[in-house]
Every structure is written in C-alpha cells, then in structure tokens.
Structure 1
C-alpha cells in the first residue's frame, strides 16, 4: 500500500527531508511517498533542511481484510456440542458483528457444503453459544 504525503513550505524552494520512525513498518522516500511494510504504527516526519521546523504524521498500518482469506470458526454450545465452519473473512466479520450486537434467541445462519450435491443450512442461537474460537489461515 502506498500513500503520498505533501509538505507545503515557504519559500517553495526549501528542501524537505522525510524520515520514518520505524522503517520496518512504513518507509518514506525523498518525495514523501510512504510504503506500508507490515502492521504497526510509525511517525513520518517532514523537516525543512537547516531549520528546526518539522511536521509529523502518524501512519497506522493495518492488514487488509481480504474476502478470499479464510478462517475456521469453532463454536462451543452450552450443551457441549462443537460446530465448526470454514468461512471467508466477510462471513466471519458478519458473524462477529451479529454476535456483538444481539442477544437472546436471535439466530445466525451458516451454509455448509457436505458433498458436491448436498448443502446444509445451520442456525446458531445466540444464547446457546458458550464460547467460540477463530483460527485464521
């Protein structure tokens, strides 16, 4: 991921020196182009050469959630049964939003393919969930 930062200086011939507080998270080139390297936070500094004048920008690098990425959601019910679902991150995010925002007898629908010709739809009731675990891959 790339980002372009700009520094407006007076006079416009003044040289701006760009630096990153952590090149392992985000780098910046002499033109203010920032490249994300890995998750984390870095401070990008623009300093006018031969002065003490600086400006900073905090860059927070987060992993993109890719709908094609997958995770296994393992739900343990209050009766001890465990259900597992192989999900895209979109469905996982939908589940997490539902779980956080609802309660009682509200249900969440999961579709599973058992074989090429057999599909199953399961409904999980919110107040029947004892715990759940997410394993991303």
Structure 2
C-alpha cells in the first residue's frame, strides 16, 4: 500500500517537473520567432518625397512598400479599370520581412488603377485615381520648309520642321530616311548625300500621328570636262551647264543614261584636258555654241536680243562692204 502511494507521488512530481520545464525552457528558446503573415501587412504607396498617395499622374514614380513573410517573393502588379495588367514586378522580402519596389505609372491608362500586392489569393489591393494633365496642348499639325530638294554627294542640306500649334506641349520630331545608302538624316533634320539617287526623308511627330515627307535627290555636282576647260566649276558657263543637266537631262530616262555614261568615262578625259592649254581653249570653242543654246533656253528674250544685235551687225557690215565696192 505504501509502495503504491510512493509511486503515485513520484509520478505527480515527475509530471510537475515536465510542466515546469515546458513553461520555462521552450518559450525562452522561441520567444523571438514571429508568426508568418498570410497577407502583406502595412502596405503603403508613396511618392518620391515619401508622402502617401491616392491620386497620381501618368509617368509619376511611386514606391510600394510593406511587410511579408521573411525571404519570400512578393508580386506587385497594377491593373487598370478594364482589368488589364499594365505593370508587373516581383521583389523579395528581407530577413525582417520588409519589401519595397519603385515603379512608374503608365502613360496611357484609364482613370482608376488597382495595385495588387502579394501572391496567389494572399493579396492586398490599393486604389489609385489617375489625374490627367489637362495643361498639355496636343499637336495638330506639322509643316516642312521643303517638299523636295537636291543635295550633292558629301554635302548637307537642312530641313526645318514646324510643329503646330506653337504652344504644343511635345514638339519633338523624329526623322527617318527611306534609303540610308542614298541619303542620311540626323535628328535635327540635317540631310547628307551619300550616293547618286533619290530618298524620301520623313518627319514624324513624337506621338506618331502626323508626318510630312520631302523627296531628296542626291546629285554629282560636277561637269568634269567643262570644269577642266574653264578652270573652275563656279564659272558662269559651267554653272549654266549644270543647271541644264539637272533640269533637262536628269528628268528623263534617256538623259539620265547619258549623264551616267558621262560621269563614268569623262574624269580621265577631263584630267588630260586640264593639263593642256591648247586642249582647254579648243574645248571652250567647241562648247561655246552649246553654251549659247542653253543660255537661250533659260533666257529667250536676252538671247533673241543678242541674236538680233549680231544679225543687224552682220547686215550692216555687209551693206558697208557692198557700198565700198561701188
């Protein structure tokens, strides 16, 4: 009987010791462990100055922050009022569970955005009102100072684009060339001739809604044989011949073929003429009638007057010669 009583007392004491150890040791070991959050906590949306936001404008930068389970990926997405996802990113929370991500409000969105933070069904939603910038002035037109132009190989011509109205918010113009092997254009409208041919230069507004085109003809601005004979491409006769080439020969297939043949074969001939005084003078004499005809095409009244003076002079000389025979 005494042994049974002693055994019961020992069991009771052993149970008390176990309970005491549980209440003293185990909580001390785990007292700093935090319970995992099933959803993100303390989620805030702030601007670059740290102020909390409910209203935003397109292109605003905002920071989404909060706390979640430590060392866990947190997805952040923005959904517009049509339920379309316009932004998505994922960040990993730190060892203390905190997370932060900086994003930009998309430009083309509706009036209401929902920021969804978390994973799966464990998410927190925040609503942002999009305030459009009513002070923006839209582009309504675009003008180019030229619709066609010519440029020599290696030379540059500048096109000027004017965005309308003058107080438009975004006046940026994007330039492009249809054939960069013929002519290139930089983003300030400077067109450079690369090789003989034609290219279309296009100016387009930043929003892409309005564009204007200019046809650029790249030419070889040399009359090799005439330049060799007269000594300079700036001599009036040589300039006149270049105008004739551009205005008459290069406007049809037959003339263009002749010009290509001329430029392919005339340089060595011109070089030979340039070093021989007799040949230079001979070529001048041979070119004189042609230069006169071309001058007459551009200045018919002056040509007729000159021809009339020459004719009258010849007639007067003949009459004078006839009287002298009497």
Q: TM-score, normalised by structure 1?
A: 0.52
Partner of 1:98: 289
Q: TM-score, normalised by structure 2?
A: 0.24
- Residue 72 of structure 1 and its aligned partner are, at CA, apart by 2.9
Partner residue of 1:19 out of 151, 176, 179? 176
Question: What does 1:71-82 correspond to in 2, within 5 Å?
Answer: 71-72=268-269
Residues 156, 190 of structure 2: 8 Å contact kept:
yes
SS at match of 2:209: coil
The higher radius of gyration belongs to 2
Residues 199, 217 of structure 2: 8 Å contact kept:
yes
Question: What does 1:1-137 correspond to in 2, within 5 Å?
Answer: 1-10=155-164, 11=168, 13-65=170-222, 67-68=227-228, 70-72=267-269, 86-87=272-273, 95=286, 98=289, 101=293
CA shift in 2, pair 1:99/1:4, >3 Å: closer
Distance 1:54 1:27 in 2: 18
CA shift in 2, pair 1:44/1:87, >3 Å: same
SS at match of 2:176: strand
- Residue 50 of structure 1 and its aligned partner are, at CA, apart by 1.4
Tell me the alpha carbon deviations over residues 65-102 of structure 1, each in whole angstroms, 9 at most, x when there is no partner. Answer: 152584539xxxxxxxxxxxx435xx76985673594x
CA shift in 2, pair 1:52/1:70, >3 Å: same
Distance 1:94 1:27 in 2: 41
Structure 1 segments of 4+ aligned residues over 4 angstroms from their partners: 91-97
Partner of 2:302: none
Distance 1:32 1:53 in 2: 16
Residues 70, 87 of structure 1: 8 Å contact kept:
no
SS at match of 1:9: strand
Q: Which structure shows the bigger proportion of residues in strand conformation?
A: 1
Tell me the alpha carbon deviations over residues 39-68 of structure 1, each in whole angstroms, 9 at most, x when there is no partner. Answer: 000010001121321111111011121525
Which stretches in structure 1 are left out of the alignment for 5+ residues? 74-85, 102-137
- Residue 12 of structure 1 and its aligned partner are, at CA, apart by 6.7
Distance 1:63 1:44 in 2: 19
Distance 2:159 2:186 in 1: 10
CA shift in 2, pair 1:40/1:48, >3 Å: same
RCO higher in structure (CA 8 A, sep ≥6) = 1
